C-alpha cells in the first residue's frame, strides 16, 4: 500500500510541475496570455488535488 501511495503522490506532483513549466514557458515566449491563464488555473486545481491525495495517503498510513 505504501508503494501505491508514493506513486500516486509522485504522479500528482509531476502533473503540477508539468503544467507549471508549460505555463512559465508560454509566458516566457510571449505566448497568448489566455493560454497562460488557463494553464495557471489548471495548476491551482492540480495543486488542490495533490494536497487532497497527500492528506488521503497520510490518513490511510496512520
Count of residues for the chain?
A: 62
Which residue do the cell numbers 503522490 mark? Answer: 9
**What's the DSSP call for residue 29?**
T
Q: Is residue 21 part of a domain?
A: no
Q: State the total domains in the chain.
A: 1
Q: Does the residue 13 lie in any domain?
A: no
The mean pLDDT value for 22-38 works out to 91
Whether the Cβ atoms of residue 43 and residue 19 lie closer than 8 Å to each other: yes
Q: What is the mean pLDDT of residues 45-60?
A: 96
Q: Please check the confidence at residue 53 and state whether its pLDDT lies above 90.
A: yes
In a domain, 50, yes or no: yes
Q: 1-16: string of b/e by CB count within 10 Å (b at 16+)?
A: eeeebeeebeebeebb
Asked whether residue 19 is assigned to any structural domain, the reply reads no
24 part of a folded domain? no
State which residues form the domain around 56: 33-62
Residue 51 has a pLDDT of 97
Sign of CA dihedral 45, 47, 50, 54: negative
Q: What's residue 9's pLDDT?
A: 96
38 found inside a domain:
yes
Residue 4 lies in a domain: no
Which pTM value belongs to this model?
0.86
Amino acid at each position: 500500500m505504501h508503494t501505491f501511495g508514493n506513486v500516486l503522490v509522485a504522479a500528482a506532483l509531476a502533473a503540477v510541475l508539468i503544467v507549471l513549466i508549460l505555463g512559465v514557458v508560454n509566458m516566457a515566449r510571449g505566448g497568448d496570455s489566455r493560454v497562460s491563464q488557463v494553464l495557471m488555473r489548471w495548476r491551482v486545481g492540480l495543486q488542490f488535488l495533490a494536497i487532497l491525495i497527500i492528506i488521503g495517503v497520510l490518513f490511510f498510513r496512520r
